[in-house]
Amino acid sequence: MKKGIIVAVGIALVLVTVGVAGCGDYFGSEETGLVKSISSQQDIGIWVTGVGKVAVVPDVAVLSLGVEAQAATVAEAQQQASGAMNAIMGVLDSYGVDEKDIRTQQYSIQPVREWRDDQYILIGYRVTDTVSIKVRDIDDTGSIIDGAVAAGGDYTIINSISFTVDEPEAYYEDVREEAMADAKDKAEQMAELGGVNLGKPMYIAEYSGYSPNTVYYDIREDMGSELTTDISPGETEIQMTIQVVYGIE
């Protein structure tokens, strides 16, 4: 009897020991994860965003233009659009626009229908052909537009004009330096307000952004006008944002 009691108690102790050990592993792993999360360099410190920017004069114009023709048949519409586009391409060639700076944006053929007698009736087809053109001699922009309008006639479409910088990367070093200085100034102020000492950067991420200035242009408003097109590129802004996490000492 005593032997049986001792064996039973021994088994119970083993079960209790195993259970406690298992619980210890469970809570221990969760605690380790929590410590890792708290000690992560990106979860502590002073987070700031620095902005650097510079205003520059664009040196390249990007034109979005083309032709649109409508006729009773697809073949007729294509012929009209092709003739007008070839004439516009001749203008671009005369201004020395390189083929590598001309990119097709859209080419579509769509049926045109009208609502008659409670139903849609097919009345023809519309062909649209537009290209994106990079004009490296920005002073030629207005003349190219006028030439394209004259060559393409009533089929001409000019969607927009964008002014950009051909090599914005040349300005990135100065903009980046300004963004880092801005981030440090903000971090130093926050550390002073918080009553702590600013440590070294533990995390740095760069987000460069540059958007060209775009002017939308409806050529149909000026059809028949003998006035020349004046283009003013103005200034554009190259901006960079840097996110920095500073340690706290």
Name 28's Cβ contacts closer than 8 Å, sequence gap at least 6: none
CATH of residue 144's domain is 3.30.70.2970
**Percentage of the chain exceeding pLDDT 90:** 60
Residue 119 lies in a domain: yes
pLDDT tens digits, 15-46: 333 343 444 443 344 444 433 443 444 467 99
Length in residues, the chain? 249
Helices (H), the chain: 2-39, 74-94, 141-152, 172-194
Does 122 map to a domain? Answer: yes
d(CA 46, CA 28): 30
Residues 120 and 156 in one domain: yes
Q: What is the pLDDT of residues 172-230, one digit of tens each?
A: 999 999 999 999 999 999 999 999 999 999 999 998 766 555 555 544 444 444 557 77
Domain membership of residue 29 (yes or no) is: no
C-alpha of 27 from chain center? 46
Task: Give residue 232's pLDDT band: very low, low, confident or very high (50, 70, 90).
Answer: confident
Torsion from C-alpha of 22, 28, 29, 30, nearest 10 degrees: 110
Question: Please, what is the average pLDDT of the chain?
Answer: 81
**Domain co-membership, 54 together with 171:** yes
Judgement on whether residues 150 and 180 belong to the same structural domain of the protein: no
Q: Are residues 152 and 179 in the same domain?
A: no
CB 238 within 8 A of CB 58: no
Both 143 and 186 in a single domain? no
The answer to whether position 25 is within a domain reads no
**Cα first-last separation, the chain:** 67
Claim to verify: residue 112 and residue 235 sit in the same structural domain:
no
CB atoms within 10 A of CB 238: 21
Same domain (yes/no): 137, 77: yes
The residue type of 170 is A
Output the pLDDT for position 211: 59
Count of domains forming the chain: 2
Q: How wide is the angle at C-alpha 199 spanned by C-alphas 195 and 204, nearest 5°?
A: 125
Both 110 and 192 in one domain: the answer is: no
Q: How would you classify residue 224: left for phi > 0, otherwise alpha for psi between -120 and 50, otherwise beta?
A: left
Domain extent at residue 201 = 41-58+167-211+220-249
Could you tell me the CATH number of the domain that includes residue 201?
3.30.110.170
